[in-house]
Amino acid sequence: MPATTFLFVPGDRPDRFGKAAASGADVVILDLEDAVAPADKDAARAHAGTWLRDHEAMVRINAPGTPWFDADAALVTARGIPVVVPKAETPGVLAGFREVVALVETARGVERAGELASVPSVTRLAFGSVDLAAELGVAPEDREPFAYARSRLVIASAAAGLAPPVDGVTTDLRDDEALEADVRYARRMGFGGKLCVHPRQTAPVRAGFAPTEAEREWARRVLTAGESASTVDGRMVDRPVLARARRILGE
């Protein structure tokens, strides 16, 4: 199954790298961008390079056009490290890396989601709701302004044959109900994972994206009925329904 939990850890905090790796997150992302002050960028890159000699993780590099992009890109390309590219807008930039999660967090990136998803090196799209909120002048916790953007990423991912996209962060680390509600909404919109900013978020995020027992039971009834069945529980069964049932059960 595709990864559902993507945990950021600041690149200038090597003391936290091991804790992040032990958190149970599907993917650890060493963050050289938003979590690191400009004066600490070079040190963070060095810390990440050292740790990645013996461990696996992704690296969120600094955005194209920033003073640190070239050095960050040199590190990940020389070592073949999977990369998260922020402010993803230009397909040609993404093509220069081996394996990319394209973080779409600008209006231009949203409008080019289909092009970004079609780049061969792109394995997943992710949604940067906080940065997009700043550009649009809206509150990042308000879901309604982002319905179009989220749908664009979901459709673009499906059209390109990618796994469902990864939703943005929940910034309130203390509100478990808000996190769970955000996960339910993202899953309903067609997302398949979420960016996390604290290890305590990984378990509820993973649980929220897992099929419920009711969904599993429905899928089992559908598959037990077989391809010759026309209805289950009074609802039509056809090939797309069978495919959904198999996907729920991981078959």
17 contacts 9 by C-beta, under 8 angstroms? yes
Whether 26 has a binding-site annotation, put simply, is no
Cα 149 to chain centroid, rounded: 14
Burial of 94 (0-12, 13-18, 19+ CB in 10 A): buried
Q: Name, in order, each residue with C-beta under 8 angstroms of 56's C-beta and a sequence gap of 6 or more.
A: none
Measure the CA–CA gap between 220 and 201, rounded to whole angstroms: 30
Residue 131 marked ligand-binding: yes
User: CB within 8 A of 133, min separation 6: which ones?
Assistant: 139, 140, 142, 145, 146
Task: Determine the Cα–Cα distance for residues 73 and 85; give it in Å rounded to an integer.
Answer: 10
Q: Is 54 annotated as a binding residue?
A: no
**Nearest to 249, CA basis, from 197, 212, 199, 198:** 212
Rounded to 5 degrees, φ, ψ at 58 are -95, 165
**Cα separation of 248 and 223, whole Å?**
11
Both tokens assigned to 77? 């390309």
Which residues sit in the known binding site?
A: 60, 105, 131
Which residues sit in the known binding site for Mg(2+)?
A: 105, 131
Which residues sit in the known binding site for substrate?
A: 60, 105
